[in-house]
Amino acid sequence: MDLTKANIEGFMIMGKIVGIDLGTTMSALSYLNDMGRPEVVANADGERIMPSAVYFADSQRVLTGGEAIRSRHDDVTRACRWIKRQMGDESYTLRIDGKTYSPAEISSFIIKKLIQDAELQIGKISDVLITVPANFEDTARNATINAGKIAGVNVLGLINEPTAAAYYYAVVHDIQGKVLIFDLGGGTLDVTIANVTNDDVKIINSQGDRNLGGFNFDQLLVDYFADYYSQETNGGKLFETNEERSIIEDYAEETKISLSKRQSVSFRLQGNNGTVKGELSRVKYAEIIGRELSRIQLLVECVLDEANETPVSIDHILLVGGSTRLPAVRDLLVDIFGKAPEMVGNVDEVVSLGAALYAGRRMAEEKPEEMSPGVAAVMRRSQTLVDVCNHSYGTLAVGYNDDKKCEEMMNTIIIKKNTPIPCSVTEDFYVRYDGQEAVDASITQGEETDPDLVSVVSNQTFRLPPNTPQGSVIRVTYSYDKDQRMDCTFLHVDSGKKVCLQVDTKNIDDSSNRSSRRKLDGMNLE
């Protein structure tokens, strides 16, 4: 490469590549510095992680972060927190000042605020890699991509949160061996097993729960406080409005954090029958969240069983996510594995740092000319990453049910869960009778054979040529790329006629995308 002065100047003005951890409760943005090392970029308030909250102050002003959380105490109907739990849910909307906002649009405010503040410090941002929970289904993944598009950035792709964390630990901290990444954040839990060497990071399997995290712990503590207050005041109410409840939610979160540092904490509750005081110990708190701890244990055991691993075969248990600071969670992991988990670095930041690293690796492989030579060289020396397909994909077809001794519509899995990606799998199906006019070309997501227990994520009628004979081959090919995008082809072999499907039916089309961006651009983001 000709490193002329002009070329060097071109590298200097080139847009930055960043990784964004779009979390349920907290979000963060990281970039690669001139040495090829990832760094978290603080927001305008100096916060390295920003609360994932939005508050519509009026028809023109949107507050984000901590100010949004505090403002919701005035009117919870104008606030949105924990929107990540609604990603991909088309039925969910927030209507404010005559405008309707989808989860992707609300999330775009968070992304744009992160980028807006970061660009003041590091310059123009050109490309982003966004993280998602490993258990996110395709509708939620596509909604996340749309959020980035609406925010006005080029989305390189997605990376699973525990995968990003594993990549960070491998590259920066040189952790190797059989690794279990335990990622417990504000709203989701992912448990992932990876095999890490000097050459690569290979994900083996992953299990997750998108409705298990710090939020659940906080709600249980809110309920405990409400019951405690009622008992101590002969039926008094700790809160009577959603705004009052939101204040107690914040107080529960603060109490939880305090218990991570102390064996017990005092609390003071103010309701309609005066003030009561009490004390909460770590032991009691563990009892309060006991059912959630049981869910965590079951998920960990499922991951180990699925990977044919045992607790003693795991070399490292790596913690990710703010909720892993809870002593009750760490004690549970000690009970399971017989050794203490490792908290290397800031557990709130490792996902965004890993995303920035992998984004750099991707760019070094695909567009090295858009990076400084030094950074590109550093990235190419980092480990390769092999992720897996986190769900099974199949199609609906008539098959023989051995139990019922009859033919019926069944889900046939084509790409199995935990298949390394990218991958491509082909399977042949057959026309059932002479003159069949069409088949339903469908893509399913799920592990069951029962069609009622899986999701149809894409569907199209495939018209066959006239007079198609029985037994004609319909060749189905599923391809899943490294950006976790899947498409498939239904090919009628005899005629060459085919239909192509993509798992992008929930993606916003160009016109809708422009409309959403205009809606965002018309707001002042604070």
SS3 of 456-499: EEEEEEEECCCCCCCCCEEEEEEEECCCCCEEEEEEECCCCCEE
Quickly count: other Cβ atoms within 10 Å of residue 302's Cβ: 13
- Residue type for 264, please? S
Query: What was the pLDDT predicted at 58?
Result: 87
Contact (CB, 8 A) for 109 and 525: yes
Q: Which domain holds residue 484?
A: 393-495
16 in the Ramachandran plot: left (φ > 0), alpha (ψ -120 to 50) or beta? beta
Contact (CB, 8 A) for 326 and 343: no
Query: What was the pLDDT predicted at 88?
Result: 86
**Strands 16-22 and 26-32, bridge-based pairing:** antiparallel
State the CATH number of the domain containing residue 401. Answer: 2.60.34.10
Clarify whether residues 25 and 84 are in a common domain.
Answer: yes
To 10 degrees, the CA torsion angle through 459, 464, 468, 469?
A: -10
Q: Which two tokens stand for residue 402?
A: 């051995």
Cα angle 230, 236, 240; round to 5: 105
Query: What was the pLDDT predicted at 521?
Result: 75
Clarify whether residues 96 and 229 are in a common domain.
Answer: no
**Which of 288, 306, 325 is where one domain is finished?**
288
Quickly count: other Cβ atoms within 10 Å of residue 95's Cβ: 9
Clarify whether residues 136 and 49 are in a common domain.
Answer: yes
Q: What is the DSSP string of 428-446?
A: EEE--STT--EEEEEEEES
Query: What was the pLDDT predicted at 15?
Result: 64
In a domain, 433, yes or no: yes
Number of domains the chain is built from = 3
Clarify whether residues 357 and 427 are in a common domain.
Answer: no
Q: Which of 301, 307, 478 is nearest to 392 (CA)?
A: 478
- Residue type for 243, please? E
| Model pTM score | 0.89
Q: What is the pLDDT along the chain (526 residues), one digit of tens a residue?
A: 233 333 333 333 356 889 999 999 999 999 988 888 899 999 888 899 999 999 999 888 999 998 999 988 899 999 998 899 999 888 898 899 888 999 999 999 999 999 999 999 999 998 899 999 998 988 899 899 999 999 988 898 899 999 999 999 999 999 999 999 999 999 999 999 999 998 899 999 999 998 899 999 999 999 999 999 999 999 999 999 999 999 999 999 999 999 999 999 999 999 999 999 999 999 999 999 999 999 999 999 999 999 999 999 999 999 999 999 999 999 999 999 999 999 888 999 999 999 999 998 888 877 777 777 777 777 778 888 999 998 999 999 887 677 777 778 899 999 999 999 999 999 999 999 899 999 998 999 999 989 899 988 888 999 999 999 999 999 999 999 887 778 899 999 999 999 988 775 344 455 566 777 777 777 788 8
State the CATH number of the domain containing residue 245. Answer: 3.90.640.10
Clarify whether residues 169 and 55 are in a common domain.
Answer: yes
Clarify whether residues 413 and 440 are in a common domain.
Answer: yes
User: Whole-angstrom Cα distance, residue 130 to residue 111?
Assistant: 10
